Amino acid sequence: MSKHHLGEFEEIVMLTVAILADEAYGISIIEEMENRLDRKVSIGALQTVLRRLEKKGYLSSRFGEATKVRGGKRKRYFMLTAYGKKVLTEVKEQRLSLWNAIPQFSTSY
Amino acid sequence: MPHKKYPLPPRWVSKFFQWYCHPDYYEDIEGDLLERFESGLEEHGLKNARWNYIKDVVRLFRPGIIRSLEISSRINHYSMFKNYLKVGYRNILKHKGFSLINVTGLAIGIACCIIIMLYVQNELSYDRYHKNYNQTYRVLQTFRSAADPGSLPPPAPEEFQVWGCAPIGPALQADFPEIKSFFRFTSPVNLLFQYQNKKFQEDNMVFADSTAFKVFSWRLISGREETALTKPNSIVLTQNVAAKYFGKNDPLGKTITIDQTKSFVVTGVMEDVPHNSHFTFDGLISMTTAHNWRTEIFDWWGYVDFYTYFLVDEQANIAALAQRIPDFVKRHLPGWQDNTIAFEPLSDAYLYSVAARQPGAMGSLSNIYMFSSIAVFILIIACINFMNLSTARSMERAKEIGIRKSIGAHRHSLVVQFLLESILLSTISAILAVALVSIALPWVQELSAKTLDLSSLLSWKSVIAFMGGVFLIGLLAGSYPAWILAQVRSAQVLKGTFKSSSKGAALRKSLVIFQLSLSIALIAGTAIVFSQLDFIRSRDLGFTKEQMLVIDFGWDSGVQEQLNIIKAEFLRHPDVHSIAASRAVPGNFLPDAGTRIESPEGAMIMQSPGIYEIEPDFVPTYDMQMIAGRSFSANIPKDSTETLLLNEAAMRLYGYTDPSEIVGKKFSQWGRNGIVVGVVKDFNYKSLHTKVEPLALRFAPVGALRHLSLQVSPENITKTIA
């Protein structure tokens, strides 16, 4: 097992952050995941994972501008760090190598 | 959208979130929550949005989001508390002598309080173990007689007595459907019990109705509650007495020989009557036994030997019941215009009853109030002592305070520090106090003649109350020193110009004065109580009690037959001056007897003085003084059946003021008719707490004697006994 272990939910969150590029903050990530994966996600579940990933150094964050909606509270935008991108790529390659090793699937693929 | 005022999510939920959320994350997550709330508001309405908001906040309550303890501001307090405790602890160790005085002073105060609380709690717990405590009542009766029937005013509460007649119980139950059952028991009988070779005089056995275990919650260890006391000649023994005769064997069904002639069958063994009962006994003999022995007294309304208790059903209103008493009395006792009955709740029996002839010793309500206030005083004195000692030492702590202040301590944190220190001390004192109490308890029990048990205070309620009390004492005792010390000016201290303020000194002085006056009041109170006790011990009782040896032979018929030989034998001993036999001796239990004596006007008046049954030697042996007439004489045969002696109180009871006038008047008492031959000076035959009550001294019939009183020389009293 690689030293960069990613949980399934962590991987999905990181991918979604990558998809949303500059627009990845709490609510938009949840909405994107709901749309694409048809999966209910609570703010609590998401936020804990985001903070954990940030602590691990896979994500970084910055505050946006304050607006009149959201009670005047600023958004926190997340983005992948270079390290995060590397880990994500590694995970993808590991998966692919596993897929490629399956004999039956590979013929039909 | 921007200018419209939108409804907000529940405030308390937002507050809760703000409280637990990591401050770094708070702003954006709260923003996300609000954004969700706002969009939810448009899509699903307010109720739904609110509900979702609450759900989200609850789901956010997880380790990654909650503020961590390390950076919370509470942690700062925690380490300060640790520091305070450490400094407090070091201070205690540094001034060992001072701390010792302070802690032991407070500990003794708390220990006194605990002991007094134990005593008070014990007094208040009387009879409460009965399941039917609130539904049990007892019957009080009056036995007055007037020269002119119907002329007496309604009786005062003191004129009632608990001791009453037998037929009233069944009559009450028949007339009052609210009364579920009644229970009667007699005054103790004296019987000689024998089982195999074990032979004891039992003098605390009572005859009791079979409803004993229905009305009162005594626990039977063996035997059946319903039937144990139904058959004649059956007896229920208490555990202690049963063990005395049967050891470890099962007493059930065994036969005990009574007075060498009759026999009782043991039908049950019960737990000893709890010490917090207003009357106790060693065993219950079935009432049917008494019925067989003396059937006639169960119909006599004037024969007094029974205590009657009854149980009412839950809906019964005792006040309504009491209103029907006059009817009841009129129906059953048409001739008794001057007498009535009353009901008294069981809860009043031990502390509140004023009725005469109680079945057991009573408690004293004023004692409870007195002791409780003493407990409070002692605690106040201990607290003031503690405060003064702490403030007096403030000079030493001034430097520490100065430094603490100059590095930024708030006044309130200094107050907290000193309060904490005094709570620490009071906690140590409390632990010491509990240890002191457990050491002192045996002595206290001996002193108060009560069974006090520390475990009776061991319910969780009282433990919490105790800890709260200790905390409060700490706060109270620490409040003044903390306030004074926190006022110290750091600049003055550091410059070395600090002087303890004169204002503090004035308060301290007044506290000392207050403390001393409280102490003096307590000491004076103790002195008064002591002199009262001394009075009881040394007051002239009206008879010689010094060097009096009393032998209780318990109506042993063998002794009674040989009495003259035994007396002669004793008198041969050089140190025995005189000897007399009697049924009771001063201080003992004695019965009342209905006695008619000719009044100054010539009518025969009925009264019920107590009686002593004595031999002629009794009066000279006890050195009692005849103030009129003569005493019994062994040489006048008629004296044994046709004469009576009275005391002064009895003389006054029958309306005489001059003792010589009553001598020669006619009397009739318990089947005897004759004349009063003499009046004895009042002597204290009961207790100094009561005034001397009317007493008739009658010549003892054969077989009624129980005690031998010997007057002996004081010099070699121990040798004589040997």
Alpha helices in B539-658 (DSSP H): 557-561, 563-572, 618-621, 639-642, 648-653
A44, A52, A75: residue with CB nearest B31: A75
H-helix or E-strand containing B20?
helix B11-20
What are the φ and ψ backbone dihedral angles of B227, each rounded to 5 degrees?
-110, -10
What three-state secondary structure class fits B550? Answer: strand
Note the pLDDT tens digit of each residue in B648-679: 888 888 888 888 888 888 888 877 888 888 88
**CB distance B299 to B332 below 8 Å:** no
pLDDT at residue number B266? 92
HSE of B269 in the Cβ direction (CA atoms, 13 Å)?
A: 18
DSSP character string of B486-549? HT--HHHHHHT-----HHHHHHHHHHHHHHHHHHHHHHHHHHHHHHHHHHHHHS--SS--TTEE
According to DSSP, residue B645 is labeled E
H-helix or E-strand containing B607?
strand B604-607
DSSP character string of B665-697? -EEEETTEEEEEEEEEPP---S-TTSPPPPEEE
According to DSSP, residue B479 is labeled H
The alpha carbon of B119 is separated from its chain's Cα centroid by a whole number of angstroms, namely 7
What is each CA distance from B594 to A54, B154, B650, B679, in whole angstroms? 104, 21, 12, 18
A42, A68, A70: residue with CB nearest B56: A42
Dist CA B162 CA B305 (whole Å): 10
A44, A45, A70: residue with CB nearest B35: A70
CA distance B64 to chain A (A): 5
Query: Which residues have C-beta within 8 Å of that of residue A53, sequence separation ≥ 6?
Result: A10, A13, A14, A59, A84
Q: What is the bridge-based pairing of β-strands B283-286 and B198-208? A: parallel
pLDDT at residue number B460? 77
A26, A48, A49: residue with CB nearest B28: A26
> Dihedral through CA B652, CA B657, CA B662, CA B666, nearest 10?
-50
Q: Tokens 């009895």 correspond to what residue?
A: B650
**Yes or no, beta carbons of A73 and B36 under 8 Å apart:** no
User: What is the pLDDT confidence band of residue A12, given thresholds at 50, 70 and 90?
Assistant: very high
Q: Which of residues 31 through 90 in chain B touch A, CB cutoff 8 A? A: 31-36, 38, 55-56, 58-65
CB pairs under 8 A between A and B: 73
Chain B residues lying within 8 Å of A44, measured CB to CB: 56, 58-62, 65
**Yes or no, beta carbons of B60 and A74 under 8 Å apart:** no
**Yes or no, beta carbons of A26 and B32 under 8 Å apart:** yes
Choose among B699, B692, B693, B655: nearest CA to B678: B699
- To the nearest 10 degrees (0 to 180), the angle between helices B411-448 and B394-406 is 150
According to DSSP, residue B252 is labeled T
Dist CA A101 CA B69 (whole Å): 48
Choose among B164, B180, B184: nearest CA to B333: B164
SS (H, E, C) chain A: CCCCCCCHHHHHHHHHHHHHHHHCCHHHHHHHHHHHHCCCCCHHHHHHHHHHHHHHCCEEEEECCCCCCHHHCCCEEEEECHHHHHHHHHHHHHHHHHHHHCHHHHHHC
Q: Which of residues 248 through 307 in chain B touch A, CB cutoff 8 A? A: none
pLDDT at residue number B144? 78
Dist CA B297 CA B560 (whole Å): 27
- To the nearest 10 degrees (0 to 180), the angle between helices B11-20 and B46-60 is 20
Chain B residues lying within 8 Å of A70, measured CB to CB: 31-32, 34-35, 38
Q: Tokens 């410059």 correspond to what residue?
A: B495
What are the φ and ψ backbone dihedral angles of B456, each rounded to 5 degrees?
-70, -15
**Yes or no, beta carbons of A25 and B29 under 8 Å apart:** no
Residues of A with CB under 8 A from a CB of B: 25-27, 42-45, 47-49, 51-52, 63, 68-71, 73-76
Choose among B654, B640, B644: nearest CA to B698: B644
Question: A8-108: what fold?
Answer: Arc Repressor Mutant, subunit A (1.10.10)
What three-state secondary structure class fits B613? Answer: strand
Low-confidence residues of chain B, pLDDT below 70? 1-6, 68-77, 147, 394-395, 449, 454-458, 496-505, 533-549, 551-561, 584-591, 685-691, 702-706, 711-722
Lowest mean pLDDT among A15-24, A57-66, B104-113, B446-455: B446-455
**Yes or no, beta carbons of A44 and B28 under 8 Å apart:** no
What is each CA distance from B185 to B140, B252, B310, in whole angstroms? 14, 22, 12
DSSP character string of B174-201? HH-TTEEEEEEEESPEEEEEEETTEEEE
**In sequence order, what E strands does B187-261 have?**
189-195, 198-208, 220-222, 234-238, 255-258
pLDDT at residue number B2? 43
H-helix or E-strand containing B136?
strand B136-141
Dist CA B398 CA B384 (whole Å): 21
Using CA coordinates, name the residue in chain A closest to B1: A69
What average pLDDT is seen over chain A?
Answer: 85
Res. A1: pLDDT tops 50 = no
DSSP character string of B146-166? -SSTT-SPPPPGGG-BSEE-S
**CB distance A25 to A78 below 8 Å:** yes
A43, A48, A52: residue with CB nearest B32: A43
CA distance B79 to chain A (A): 28
Dist CA B691 CA B539 (whole Å): 13
What three-state secondary structure class fits B599? Answer: coil
Using CA coordinates, name the residue in chain B closest to A55: B64
Please list the residues that pair with B628 across neighbouring strands.
B679
ipTM of the complex: 0.84
pLDDT at residue number B708? 72
Dist CA A14 CA A88 (whole Å): 8
**What are B646's two structure tokens?**
């009275």
**Yes or no, beta carbons of A43 and B34 under 8 Å apart:** no
User: What is the pLDDT confidence band of residue A3, given thresholds at 50, 70 and 90?
Assistant: low
CA distance A77 to chain B (A): 9
What are the φ and ψ backbone dihedral angles of A35, each rounded to 5 degrees?
-70, -50
Dist CA B201 CA B115 (whole Å): 36
By CB atoms closer than 10 A (0-12, 13-18, 19+), residue B154 is exposed
**CB distance B666 to B674 below 8 Å:** yes
CA distance A75 to chain B (A): 5
pLDDT at residue number B47? 85
B8, B30, B59: residue with CB nearest A45: B59
**Yes or no, beta carbons of A70 and B27 under 8 Å apart:** no
**Yes or no, beta carbons of B31 and A47 under 8 Å apart:** no
**What are B43's two structure tokens?**
């899509």
Q: What is the CA radius of gyration of chain B?
A: 38
pLDDT at residue number B541? 56
Write A43-47 long-range contacts (CB < 8 A, 24+): A43/B29, A43/B32, A43/B33, A43/B36, A43/B56, A43/B59, A43/B60, A44/B56, A44/B58, A44/B59, A44/B60, A44/B61, A44/B62, A44/B65, A45/A9, A45/B59, A46/A13, A47/B25, A47/B29, A47/B32, A47/B60, A47/B64, A47/B65
What three-state secondary structure class fits B307? Answer: strand
Dist CA B375 CA B597 (whole Å): 53
Choose among B238, B444, B284, B274: nearest CA to B350: B274
User: What is the pLDDT confidence band of residue A16, given thresholds at 50, 70 and 90?
Assistant: very high
Chain B residues lying within 8 Å of A33, measured CB to CB: none
